[in-house]
Amino acid sequence: MKGSNFLHFFVALLLLPFFSPSTLAADTLAVNQSIADNQSQTLVSAGGSFELGFFTPTSPSSTNLRYLGIWYNFSKQSVVWVANRDSPLTDSSGVLQLAADGTLRLLNSSTAVVWSTNSTKPASPIRNPLAQLLDTGNLVVGESDDYLWQSFDYLSDTILPGLEFGHNRETGRDRYLTSWKSPDDPSPGDCTTRLEPDGYPQIFIRKAQTIVFRSGPWNGLRFSGMPNLRPNPIYTYEFVYNSEQIFYRFDLADKSVISRMVLDNEGILQRFTWTASSRTWNLYLTAQMDNCDRYGLCGPYGSCNINNSPPCGCLIGFEPRSRRDWDSGDWAGGCVRRNDSVCGAGEGFQRIVSVKLPDTNTSSYNSSMDLGECEATCLRDCSCTAYSALNVSDGSGCLLWFGDLVDVRHYTEDGQDFFIRLAASDLVSGGGSKRKTRLWIIAVCLLAVGIAVLGLFLIFRFRRKRLQRQASIIMTQERDHTGDVSREHDLELPLFDFSTIASATDLFSESRKLGEGGFGPVYKGIFKDGQEVAVKRLSKDSTQGLDEFKNEVKTIAKLQHRNLVRLLGCCIEKEEKVLVYEYMPNKGLDAFIFDQKQRKLLDWPMLFQIINGIARGLLYLHQDSRLRIIHRDLKASNVLLDYNMNPKISDFGMARIFGANETQSSTKRVVGTYGYMSPEYAIDGQFSIKSDVFSYGVLVLEIICGKRNRGFYHEDHNHNLLGHAWRLYKEGQPEELMDETVKDSWVLSEVVRCIHVALLCVQQGPEDRPNMSNVVLMLSSDIVLPEPTEPGFFTERKVFEQESSTNEITITLLTAR
Task: Decide: helix, strand or coil at residue 116.
Answer: strand
Task: Decide: helix, strand or coil at residue 30.
Answer: strand
Beta strand 302-304 pairing with 408-410: parallel
* Spatial CB neighbours of 262, under 8 Å, sequence gap ≥ 6: 157, 158, 159, 269, 270, 272
DSSP annotation of 396 reads: B
- Residue 811's nearest CA partner among 722, 723, 714, 684 is 684
* Spatial CB neighbours of 598, under 8 Å, sequence gap ≥ 6: 591, 592
- Indicate the helix (H) or strand (E) that contains 14: helix 4-15
DSSP annotation of 252 reads: E
**CB-based contact 645:801 (threshold 8 Å):** no
Peptide bond into 231 cis (omega under 30): no
DSSP annotation of 623 reads: I
Residues labelled as active-site residues? 633
Query: What is the rounded CA–CA span in Å between residue 193 and residue 288?
Result: 13
Query: What is the rounded CA–CA span in Å between residue 357 and residue 372?
Result: 19
Alpha helices by DSSP H, 350-435: 371-380
Query: What is the rounded CA–CA span in Å between residue 652 and residue 690?
Result: 17
- Indicate the helix (H) or strand (E) that contains 689: helix 689-705
Query: What is the rounded CA–CA span in Å between residue 268 and residue 303?
Result: 22
- Residue 54's nearest CA partner among 82, 21, 19, 13 is 82
Alpha helices by DSSP H, 483-622: 498-504, 546-557, 590-593, 596-599, 604-619
Query: Residues 189-228, buried b or exposed e (16+ Cβ, 10 A)?
Result: bebbbbbbeebbbbbbbbbeeebbbbbbbbbebbbbbbbb
- Indicate the helix (H) or strand (E) that contains 44: strand 43-44
Beta strand 158-159 pairing with 259-263: antiparallel
Query: What is the rounded CA–CA span in Å between residue 193 and residue 226?
Result: 15
DSSP annotation of 741 reads: G
- Taking each continuous run of H as one helix and of E as one strand, the counts in the chain are 14, 46
Query: What is the rounded CA–CA span in Å between residue 421 and residue 349?
Result: 5
**CB-based contact 772:612 (threshold 8 Å):** no
* Spatial CB neighbours of 789, under 8 Å, sequence gap ≥ 6: 278, 763, 764, 765, 768
The length of the chain, given as a count of residues: 817
| Interaxial angle between packed helices 721-730 and 748-761, expressed in degrees from 0 to 180 and rounded to the nearest 10 | 120
